[in-house]
Structure 1
Amino acid sequence: MSITYIKKGIDVRQSDMVNNEAKRIVEEILNTVKFNGDKAIRDLSKKFDNWFPDSFKLDEDEILQLIEMVPSETIEAIKWAQSQVRRFAQIQRSSMHDIEIETIPGVVLGHKNIPVNTVGCYIPGGRYPILASAQMSILTAKVAGVKTVIACTPPEAKTGMPSPTTIAAMHFAGADEIYVLGGVQALASMAYGCVGMPPVDMIVGPGNQYVAEAKRQLFGKVGIDLLAGPTEVLIIADKTTDVEMVATDLLGQAEHGPNSAAILLTDCKELANAVEEEVQNQLKVLSTASVAGKAWKDYGEIILVDTLDEMVAMADKLANEHVQVNTANPDYFLENMTNYGALFLGNRTCVAYGDKVIGTNHTLPTEAAARYTGGLWVGKFLKTCTYQKVETDEASVELGQYCAKISEVEGFMGHKEQADLRIRRYKNK
Structure 2
Amino acid sequence: MVERILADVRKRGDAAVREYSVKFDKIDVKEPEVPAADREVAVAELDSQTRADTEFAIDNVRRFAEAQLATILPLDIEPLPGLHLGHRVIAIERIGAYVPGGRFPLLSAPIMTIVPAKVAGCREVIACLPPNAHHAMIAGCHLAGADRIFRIGGAQAIAAMAFGTDSIPQVDKIVGPGNAFVNEAKRQVFGPVGIDQLAGPSEIFVLADASGDPRLIATDLLAQAEHDVRTRVGLITTDRSLAERTATEVTRQLETLETAEIAGASWEDYGEIVLCEDEEAMIAYSDHVAAEHLQVHTSDPHALAAKLCNYGSLFIGENASVVYSDKTVGTNHTLPTAGAGHYTGGLWVGSYVKIATHQWLENEAVLKVGPPASRQSASEGLDGHRKAAQVRVDKLRQWSAA
TM-score w.r.t. the length of structure 2 is 0.96
Check if 1:194 corresponds to 2:165.
yes
SS of equivalent residue, structure 2 residue 13: helix
Check if 1:352 corresponds to 2:323.
yes
CA offsets per residue over residues 270-316 of structure 1, 9 Å max, x none? 22223333222222211111211121122111111111111110000
Contact 1:151 1:179 in 2 (8 A): yes
Contact 2:296 2:305 in 1 (8 A): no
Aligned residue in 1 for 2:391: 421
Q: State the one-letter code of the partner of 2:143.
A: F
Q: CA deviation at 1:195?
A: 5.8
2:49 to 64, 73, 76: 73
Contact 2:203 2:293 in 1 (8 A): yes
Q: CA deviation at 1:117?
A: 0.5
2:73 to 86, 97, 101: 97
2:253 to 273, 278, 282: 282
Aligned residue in 2 for 1:333: 304
Q: Which runs of 5+ in 2 are unaligned?
A: none
Q: Which runs of 5+ in 1 are unaligned?
A: 1-24
SS of equivalent residue, structure 1 residue 220: coil
Q: Hey, what's the Cα distance between the residues in 2 that align with 1:402 and 1:378?
A: 39
SS of equivalent residue, structure 1 residue 366: coil
SS of equivalent residue, structure 1 residue 39: helix
Contact 2:18 2:30 in 1 (8 A): no
Q: Hey, what's the Cα distance between the residues in 2 that align with 1:286 and 1:405?
A: 72
Check if 1:116 corresponds to 2:92.
yes
1:408 to 364, 371, 378: 378
Q: CA RMSD in A?
A: 1.5
Contact 2:21 2:29 in 1 (8 A): no
Contact 1:235 1:324 in 2 (8 A): yes
Moved more, 271-280 or 324-333: 271-280
Check if 1:208 corresponds to 2:179.
yes
1:40 to 11, 16, 40: 16
Contact 2:111 2:140 in 1 (8 A): yes
Aligned residue in 1 for 2:221: 250
Q: CA deviation at 1:428?
A: 4.4
CA offsets per residue over residues 53-90 of structure 1, 9 Å max, x none? 21111000111111111101111111111111000100
Q: Hey, what's the Cα distance between the residues in 2 that align with 1:237 and 1:422?
A: 64
Q: Hey, what's the Cα distance between the residues in 2 that align with 1:381 and 1:133?
A: 17
Q: CA deviation at 1:165?
A: 2.4
2:366 to 391, 396, 404: 396
TM-score w.r.t. the length of structure 1 is 0.90
Contact 1:207 1:229 in 2 (8 A): no
Q: CA deviation at 1:348?
A: 0.9
Q: Hey, what's the Cα distance between the residues in 1 that align with 2:323 and 2:3?
A: 33
Q: Hey, what's the Cα distance between the residues in 2 that align with 1:282 and 1:357?
A: 25
Aligned residue in 1 for 2:153: 182
Contact 2:201 2:228 in 1 (8 A): yes
1:265 to 236, 239, 246: 236
Give the 5 Å matches for 1:10-21: none
1:137 to 98, 102, 113: 113
From the superposition, tell whether residues 243 and 195 of structure 1 become closer, same or farther in structure 2 (CA, over 3 Å). farther
Contact 1:118 1:148 in 2 (8 A): yes
SS of equivalent residue, structure 2 residue 198: coil
Contact 1:326 1:346 in 2 (8 A): yes
Q: CA deviation at 1:255?
A: 0.7
Q: CA deviation at 1:325?
A: 1.0
Q: CA deviation at 1:333?
A: 2.9
Q: CA deviation at 1:30?
A: 2.4
SS of equivalent residue, structure 1 residue 95: coil
Percent identity over the alignment is 44
Aligned residue in 2 for 1:149: 125
From the superposition, tell whether residues 46 and 276 of structure 1 become closer, same or farther in structure 2 (CA, over 3 Å). farther
SS of equivalent residue, structure 1 residue 362: coil
Contact 1:211 1:229 in 2 (8 A): no
Check if 1:62 corresponds to 2:32.
no
Runs of 4 or more off by more than 4 Å in structure 1?
A: none
SS of equivalent residue, structure 2 residue 116: helix
Q: CA deviation at 1:233?
A: 0.7
Q: Hey, what's the Cα distance between the residues in 2 that align with 1:294 and 1:73?
A: 33
Aligned residue in 2 for 1:294: 265
Contact 1:126 1:154 in 2 (8 A): no
Aligned residue in 2 for 1:309: 280
